Amino acid sequence: MPRRSRAKAIAVSSPLQHPQPQRRDILEDEARFLRSWFERPLVTGAVTPSGRMLARTMASYVDPRLSGPVIELGPGTGPVTDALVRRGIAPERLVLVEYNPDFCKLLRRRFPKATVLQGDAYDIRAALADVVAEPACATISSLPLFTKPLEQRLDLLSAAHDLMHPDAPFVQFTYAVVPPIPAKSSTYTASRSNKVWLNLPPARVWVYRRP
């Protein structure tokens, strides 16, 4: 379980109590994303939050029965976070690393038992120092990886795998037709989902594991 020395962890309702986002909330989230994208397009990377079907697809790769925290990178307004809770991940197991301070405030309000860290998700060694006390069972990323050099993407993947159980998934979505991190490697395996056509724009989920 995450320790609380460098993070403010705050509470959430159970999956059964956690309602589906209302239409007004969805429109407000889209407006927040659009505003953030205009202000910092290389940081936000998308003009709208992940759709519900894409969020469910990403969350489906996490096994709630496996011990340890679930690390989420770039949660934004929390659509994937919500899908993880509905998947059966206890909110107090969630460690959310978000760069945008406004999104951090929103996440703390929506998921009070999650550990919300404002920091650089591309440097998770520093962001999660003294926070993750046991191997994580998954890392879920909504980061715009293509805005970073390949070397930095590979370093992020390696750092995430170092923090997780062997064979635990690093889950990343992309709108691109090519994988966000090369699929062929001697140090990890890669698999992909079918294209999620109901997302706008259509997206695909890639899963990377260290054998």
Where do the domains of the chain lie? 48-210
Residue 1 has pLDDT above 80, yes or no: no
Whole-prediction pTM: 0.78
pLDDT in tens, 74-88: 999 999 999 999 999
The mean pLDDT value of the chain amounts to 84
Inter-residue contact 103 to 36 (CB < 8 Å): yes
pLDDT in tens, 20-68: 445 555 556 555 545 554 555 444 444 445 688 999 999 999 999 999 9
CA 8 to CA 28: how far, in whole Å?
25
Inter-residue contact 84 to 169 (CB < 8 Å): no
- C-alpha neighbours within 13 Å on the C-beta side of residue 148: 20
Inter-residue contact 174 to 134 (CB < 8 Å): no
What pLDDT shows up at residue 82?
95
Which has more pLDDT, 201 or 168?
Answer: 168
Residue the block writes with tokens 């790769």: 61
Closest among 119, 115, 161 to 143, alpha carbons compared: 119
Q: Which CATH superfamily is domain 48-210 in?
A: Vaccinia Virus protein VP39 (3.40.50.150)
Residue type, 187: T
Bond preceding residue 201 cis, omega within 30 of 0? yes
